[in-house]
Amino acid sequence: MDFFGRAFKYVVVDVGTDLGPAQMAVLQEATAIMIVTTPEVLVVTQTQRLVNELLSATFPKDMFQLVINKASPTGLSPQTISNQLQLPFLGIIPQDEATSMMSLQKYTPFVISSPKAPITAAYYDVARKLTCKWSWILKAVLWTSLKRSLMWPSV
């Protein structure tokens, strides 16, 4: 909520890798774009195509937040992925089949069923970084709302 009781909306949308008119319309409303990739050569190549398409559509590169999912010692290193995509990574989610499968079998998110698992810590780390990184935007929105209300008070 801001100073005036209005709710902020956070919407997460998985647009996939093919950007049609519907996906572009959603992205036009975004304040951040989280790009999630896995450490496989083909997936990183597809991700590079997506990043290039977004840049061609004039999305600023500083909107992009790179998260590497299912990271493991056998896949591409996070640094290699970051270098290829020319984006710093915001977070790395480790591959943890055991915790993921147990969570699915219990119908319970692993952040609840396995609060001490490394995968849970990684998810919280990404959420914390996103919150901190974008908090300045929320402060700017609040400040702009406050200035507007002082200049044009409601009747």
SS3 at position 24: helix
Task: Please tell me the predicted confidence (pLDDT) of residue 2.
Answer: 45
Task: Please tell me the predicted confidence (pLDDT) of residue 3.
Answer: 46
SS3 at position 133: helix
Task: Please tell me the predicted confidence (pLDDT) of residue 129.
Answer: 85
Q: Report d(CA 123, CA 112) in Å as an integer.
A: 12
Burial 82-105 (b: 16+ CB within 10 A, else e): eebbebebbbbbbbbeebeeebee
The pTM (predicted TM-score) of the whole model is 0.76
Q: Report d(CA 53, CA 84) in Å as an integer.
A: 15
Task: Please tell me the predicted confidence (pLDDT) of residue 8.
Answer: 52
Q: What is the mean pLDDT of each run of 10 residues along the chain (155 residues)?
A: 51 80 87 90 95 92 91 94 94 94 92 93 89 62 54 48
